[in-house]
C-alpha cells in the first residue's frame, strides 16, 4: 500500500489538474458562445450565396459551356481532400472524428484506383494524418496566429484551391469539417465543393426569372470562386464552434472524473491513516502488557 505521504501528494496533484480542467471548461464555454454567435451570423451570407448560385445555374441552358467550377473538369481521376481540424488539442474526440471520417473516404478513393491529394487546415489534423498518409499530403495550412476565424483566412484557402484546380491538379474537391449541432453533438461532415453539387433543388417554387447584368456566365465566373471561399469560411465557423463545444464537454468530464478520483483517494488516505493509528495503539498496549 502507498504510504500516507504518497497519497497526500497524489491528492494534491489530482486537485490541481481538476483546477486546470475547470478553468479550461470556463474558457471554452465563453469562447463557445462567441463562436456559436458568429456561426449563426455567418449563415445568411452563405445561404444567400447558395440561393443565388442555384438560381443562376438553373438559368444556364448550355451545360457544356458552363464554368468548370460548376460542371467539373469532366474527369473523376484526382481527388483533393481538404481536412479541416483545430490547432489545439484537449478537445475530446473533435479532431479524431474528422480524421476518422476522412480516412474512410481516403480508403474508398484509393481502393477504387483514383489518385488522392490531401490539404490539411489546422495542425492537429496534419499530426494525425501524417503517419499513414504522408505521401499524399501536399499542403498544410495553419492559422495559429489569427485569434478569431476571419474571412480573409478562408479566402486564402479558397484561392489556393482554385489555383490548383485551374492548373489541373485535381478534378474533385471535398472538404471535411465538424458541423455544430449542440454542445454534446458535433457531426463530422464531408461536402463536395468542386464541382458544385446542388443538394436539393425544389424545382417548383424556385423558378424565378431574373434579369442578368452582365451575362449569366460572367456572373457565375465571378461568383463561383467566391462561393468556394464562402463555403470554406462556413466550414471554419462551424468547426470553431464545434471545437469549443467539444472541448467544453471534454473538460467537464475531466473535471468530474478528477472529483471522483479525489474522493476515492481521500477515503484511501483516511483509511490508511486510521490503520496507522490503530497499529501504533496496539504496539503501545502490547508493549505495556508485556511489562
CB 188 within 8 A of CB 176: yes
Residue whose C-alpha is closest to residue 105's, from 23, 164, 188, 171: 188
**Rounded distance between C-alpha atoms, residue 286 and residue 288, angstroms:** 5
Vertex 97: Cα angle to 93 and 99 (nearest 5): 125
CB 190 within 8 A of CB 175: yes
Q: Does 150 bind other proteins (CB under 8 A)?
A: yes
Radius of gyration of the chain (CA): 28
**47-86 mask for other proteins (x: CB under 8 A)?**
-xx-xx--xx------------------------------
111-131 burial string, b = 16+ CB within 10 Å, else e? eeeeebbbbbbbbbbbebbee
- Provide, rounded to whole angstroms, the least separation between the CB of residue 211 and other proteins: 4
**211-230 mask for other proteins (x: CB under 8 A)?**
xxxx----x--xx--x---x
**172-211 mask for other proteins (x: CB under 8 A)?**
------------------------------------xxxx
Q: Which stretch binds other proteins (CB under 8 A): 74-82, 96-104, 151-159, 168-176?
A: 151-159
| Site residues (CB under 8 A) for other proteins, limited to 226-255 | 226, 230, 233
Q: Does 159 bind other proteins (CB under 8 A)?
A: no
Which grid coordinates are listed for 288? 505495556
- Provide, rounded to whole angstroms, the least separation between the CB of residue 102 and other proteins: 25
- Provide, rounded to whole angstroms, the least separation between the CB of residue 204 and other proteins: 16
**Rounded distance between C-alpha atoms, residue 163 and residue 194, angstroms:** 12
| Site residues (CB under 8 A) for other proteins, limited to 35-54 | 38, 41-42, 44-46, 48-49, 51-52
- Provide, rounded to whole angstroms, the least separation between the CB of residue 230 and other proteins: 7
- Provide, rounded to whole angstroms, the least separation between the CB of residue 213 and other proteins: 4
**Rounded distance between C-alpha atoms, residue 191 and residue 125, angstroms:** 17
Q: How crowded is residue 15: how many other Cβ atoms within 10 Å of its Cβ? A: 14
**Which chain residues interact with other proteins by CB under 8 A?**
38, 41-42, 44-46, 48-49, 51-52, 55-56, 150-151, 154-155, 208-214, 219, 222-223, 226, 230, 233
Amino acid at each position: 500500500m502507498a504510504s500516507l505521504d504518497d497519497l497526500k501528494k497524489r491528492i494534491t496533484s489530482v486537485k490541481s489538474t481538476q483546477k486546470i480542467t475547470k478553468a479550461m471548461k470556463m474558457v471554452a464555454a465563453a469562447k463557445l458562445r462567441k463562436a456559436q454567435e458568429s456561426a449563426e451570423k455567418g449563415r445568411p451570407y452563405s445561404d444567400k450565396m447558395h440561393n443565388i448560385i442555384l438560381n443562376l445555374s438553373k438559368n444556364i441552358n448550355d451545360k457544356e459551356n458552363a464554368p468548370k467550377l460548376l460542371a467539373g473538369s469532366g474527369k473523376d481521376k484526382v481527388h483533393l481532400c481538404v481536412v479541416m481540424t483545430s490547432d489545439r488539442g484537449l478537445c475530446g474526440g473533435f479532431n479524431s472524428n474528422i480524421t476518422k471520417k476522412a480516412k474512410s473516404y481516403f480508403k474508398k478513393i484509393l481502393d477504387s484506383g483514383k489518385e488522392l491529394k490531401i490539404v490539411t487546415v489546422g495542425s492537429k489534423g496534419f499530426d494525425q494524418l501524417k503517419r499513414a498518409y504522408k505521401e499524399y499530403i501536399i499542403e498544410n495550412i495553419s492559422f495559429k496566429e489569427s485569434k478569431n476565424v476571419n474571412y480573409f483566412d478562408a479566402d486564402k484557402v479558397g484561392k489556393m484551391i482554385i489555383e490548383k484546380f485551374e492548373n489541373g491538379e485535381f478534378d474533385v474537391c471535398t472538404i471535411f469539417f465538424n458541423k455544430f449541432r449542440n454542445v454534446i453533438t458535433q457531426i463530422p461532415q464531408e461536402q463536395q465543393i468542386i464541382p458544385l453539387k446542388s443538394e436539393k433543388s425544389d424545382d417548383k417554387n424556385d423558378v424565378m426569372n431574373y434579369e442578368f447584368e452582365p451575362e449569366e456566365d460572367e456572373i457565375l465566373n465571378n461568383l463561383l470562386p467566391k462561393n468556394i471561399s464562402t463555403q470554406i469560411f462556413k466550414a471554419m465557423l462551424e468547426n470553431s464552434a464545434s471545437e469549443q463545444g467539444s472541448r467544453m464537454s471534454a473538460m467537464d468530464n475531466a473535471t468530474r472524473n478528477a472529483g471522483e478520483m479525489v474522493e476515492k483517494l481521500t477515503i484511501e488516505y483516511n483509511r490508511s491513516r486510521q490503520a496507522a493509528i490503530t497499529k501504533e495503539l496496539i504496539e503501545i498496549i502490547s508493549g505495556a502488557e508485556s511489562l
